[in-house]
Structure 1
Amino acid sequence: MVDKDKILIIGGYGTVGSIVSRQLALQYPSKIIVGGRNKDKAQMLIEQNGLNAKAIYLDVEKERLKEVDFNEIHTAVSCIETMNISFILECLQFNINYTEVGASFKAHKRFFELSDYIDNADCLVIPSVGLVPGLSNILAFNGAKQFAEIDEIHTYVILGLGESHGVDSVRWMLEKANSSFKIKTKKGSVGVKGFTHPRSTRLLNEQRERTFYLFDFSDHHAIPLLVDTKAIDTRIGFDSKVITYLFYLFQKIGVLKWFKNISPKRFKKVLDFIRIGSERFGLQIEINGKDSLGMQYSIKYLATGENEALATATATSYASELMYLNKTQKGLKHIEEVCDFDELKGYLEKHNVKILNTSDYENDTVQPSGKPGTYGTTS
């Protein structure tokens, strides 16, 4: 009888996947299977890092899974975003735990469409782990427990342009740069576009404010599924303030609409060649609301480090280990429902990702409506 004790990492040699493969292979030698459309790259990763792991060929998009022995897999981790559900259904049939790094809410929603299949399977399924969504949801969920009533949740993401980003993440950024989407405000759902509605805030580890712009990360769609808030939005900025402002200008003059036609591979080569800025990233959650006495206050959480891909991968590895060691949780769960915040914090800090937080009753993060760049009652 084959032991059902392997962790399959799909896209396990990509920018994020290679880190997940290394982290888990060191923790669970001989238990890791690195899979993807290029078996040679998977094998090269294993040999170059001296990992005790196995390489296989699989293509979840084209449903080429001949080398996959589902009987030996305990947990499957996808480090690529795909809309194909056939592989997930296969995992459910064999009661395999499943999680993935998913940046879009479209990918997130397909798990709800599979809820009947998940309920009938004897496994744990966690959608959208990583940084945003994933860690952002955990910070919001943990912070929300400290409020009796939540008025607003704002997420700020700062990306380092000096970091070498994967082709998939570059492709996603180009597609989303000019996207139209809806956000939840106190006046209801409002239609907006990427890189609009500037809002300034100070990150906890910085002395001066930065300006951030709306962006369609999926966490502002996913967080309200578990956290009751009147308004929520997510904004983006780059470590280079000049580049951040350029994207805002490109949006104003209509240039951003052409970005989706740019080749992700070519754009990545340009970024890798120029390397403007640093590798530093930041993820700050700000929650504004009331305590049990009706007093208005706010809290902030900041996750920060020197490599966004490392942080994404480490959060993914944590979720993977949680599933691999899990013996009680079953069904469809969000990562914030099943993780221990203090445990996760310690796990991240081992990989140089720090989580800072502060709270004050002076409400210094809430801005009154009507200022430039605001819409309705949130900005």
Structure 2
Amino acid sequence: MNRKDGIMIIGGHGKVGQYIARELRYYNLILAGRDEGKIKGFLDKEKIQAEALKMDINNIDFTKMQGICFVVVCVDQKNTLLLEFCDKHAIDYMDVTANSEYIEKIQQLQLSGTSRILLGIGLAPGLTNLLAEKFVSMYPSAKNIKIQLILGLGEKHGDAAIRWTLDNFLKEYCHKTLGQIRPFKWKSTVKIRQKRLRTYNFNFVDQHMLNNKYPDKNFTTYLGFEFGDYGFEKRPAGYF
């Protein structure tokens, strides 16, 4: 396949990557990941004409990046080598990661600015950032802003998203005003469809990105779960 103006989706056969691949199916796509067989299986099933490429995100053979003009990353990374390579070679870069530590590493880099870099594409960070910024534009005097995120336990979540959430259940993190804090220490509530749901502080990176952008404000993200008919007053035994 001609690689000219190629769009590489790393993790393109995963939960998030599949949606992106379907939307970009008529572009010159290269789907990369650890399991080339699964990638080909997904492409055959969806009847998408794209190149399947075996690639380890943490040990990339950069010779395979020739002809790429845009990279979309849908898996977590341990280092910033790929982003630095894209910045050096004017390859536009988009990352859906919710990993606070990784985005902090990126913010500490001295990049050349030769490529466009877009981070925090998804629900949180992503949609929550946009909604928070809209709120700030409507209420510029607001200082302490809570971001309430409710996830449905009956919904289909990707393996990587589930693993990331579970990994961060007990991991302490540093917040702008709360300092070093563990998840689920602070409580809040949100009302949805006449039900009050309990939420707890959690280490979503949207709050850190917003706190960096608005130094005069304080954003805190809270996480809660929807149990169908269960609400705040009627929740299963052992629910937090």
TM-score between the two structures when normalised by the length of structure 1: 0.57
1-structure distance, mates of 2:188, 2:159:
29
Q: 1:194 aligns with which of 152, 168, 183?
A: 183
> Could you list the runs of 4 or more consecutive aligned residues of structure 1 that deviate by over 4 angstroms after TM superposition?
none
Q: 1:85 aligns with which of 80, 83, 91?
A: 80
Q: Hey, which of these two has a bigger chunk of helix by percent?
A: 1
Q: 1:48 aligns with which of 45, 50, 56?
A: 45
String of CA shifts for 1:123-171, please: whole Å, max 9, x gaps: 1011221110111111111221123322211111111122232222122
SS of the residue 1:83 aligns to: coil
The alpha-carbon deviation at position 47 of structure 1 amounts to 0.7
Percentage of matched positions with identical amino acids:
26
Do the aligned partners of 2:9 and 2:30 also contact (CA within 8 Å) in 1? yes
2-structure distance, mates of 1:199, 1:131:
20
The alpha-carbon deviation at position 4 of structure 1 amounts to 3.9
Do the aligned partners of 2:95 and 2:120 also contact (CA within 8 Å) in 1? yes
The alpha-carbon deviation at position 111 of structure 1 amounts to 1.7
Cα distance change, pair 97–246 in 1 and its aligned pair in 2 (3 A):
farther
Does 2:124 align with 1:137? no
SS of the residue 1:46 aligns to: helix
Cα distance change, pair 30–54 in 1 and its aligned pair in 2 (3 A):
farther
SS of the residue 2:170 aligns to: coil
Give the aligned partner of residue 62 of structure 1. Answer: 59
String of CA shifts for 1:357-376, please: whole Å, max 9, x gaps: xxxxxxxxxxxxxxxxxxxx
In the alignment, structure 2 segments of 5+ residues that lack a partner are none
Give the aligned partner of residue 113 of structure 1. Answer: 108
2-structure distance, mates of 1:39, 1:180:
36
Does 2:223 align with 1:236? yes
String of CA shifts for 1:45-97, please: whole Å, max 9, x gaps: 1110011222111112122445x242x21110000011222222222232100
In the alignment, structure 1 segments of 5+ residues that lack a partner are 249-379
Does 2:89 align with 1:100? no
The alpha-carbon deviation at position 43 of structure 1 amounts to 1.0
Bigger Rg, structure 1 or 2: 1
Do the aligned partners of 1:133 and 1:219 also contact (CA within 8 Å) in 2? yes
Cα distance change, pair 61–3 in 1 and its aligned pair in 2 (3 A):
closer
2-structure distance, mates of 1:30, 1:231:
41
SS of the residue 2:24 aligns to: helix
TM-score between the two structures when normalised by the length of structure 2: 0.88
Paired residue total: 233
SS of the residue 1:52 aligns to: coil
